[in-house]
Amino acid sequence: MTLPHTTASYTTWAPFVARLIIGAAFVFAATMKIPGSESFAMEVGMTAAAGVPFAYLAVILAGILEAGAGLAIIFGYHTRIAAFLLVLFVALVTVLFHWNFSDMMTIGAFITHLEIIAGLLYISVYGAKSVAVKRD
């Protein structure tokens, strides 16, 4: 009996579906950082409240990174580099915004960020695998 996870179609498409889900989450997050939008003002306010200098510029740069690296992961273009950059970014965001462990919501966000970092680390090591513009 052949198990589903050992079939050729699964090993071809599962890595792509995983990249699509992770990349789409970052692309969606980038849409919240479009200058002039209500969500952008909220992002800048939260970033400034966390003590990040030049919050306006930081949010714009974060949006560019999330959009660019998210699309790179989806399309499989320099996937390892994109995933590694997002690991650094998510780790920084986790340290800056999710350090209040007396709040259960913060603990949940902290754990979620660790899970995202784990997935990105996996992608940064193994690359796109299949269905990619430029396999690395």
Does residue 15 sit within a domain? yes
Q: Which pLDDT does position 131 carry in this prediction?
A: 85
Domain presence at residue 133: no
Q: What is the mean pLDDT of the chain?
A: 93
In a domain, 117, yes or no: yes
**pTM for the complete prediction?**
0.91
Average pLDDT for 66-95 = 97
Question: pLDDT higher for 3 or 24?
Answer: 24
Q: How many domains does the chain have?
A: 1
Domain assignment present for residue 4? The answer is no
Tell me whether residue 134 is in a domain. no
| Residues ≥6 apart with Cβ < 8 Å to 14 | 5
Q: What is the pLDDT of residue 135?
A: 65
Q: What's the distance, Cα to Cα, between the start and end of the chain in Å?
A: 33
What value does the mean pLDDT take over residues 123-136? 86
Q: Is residue 135 part of a domain?
A: no
Distances (CA, A) of 136 to 16, 78, 81, 122: 14, 6, 9, 13
Residues with Cβ within 8 Å of 31's Cβ and at least 6 positions away in sequence, in order, are: 39
Summarize pLDDT for 15-58 with one digit per residue, the tens. 999 999 999 999 999 999 999 999 999 999 999 999 999 999 99
Whether 109 and 98 have beta carbons less than 8 Å apart is answered as yes
Q: pLDDT grade, residue 5 (50/70/90)?
A: confident
Neighbours of 119 (CB within 10 A): 18
17 within some domain:
yes
Q: What is the pLDDT of residue 110?
A: 95
Residue 33 lies in a domain: yes
Q: Which domain holds residue 36?
A: 11-125
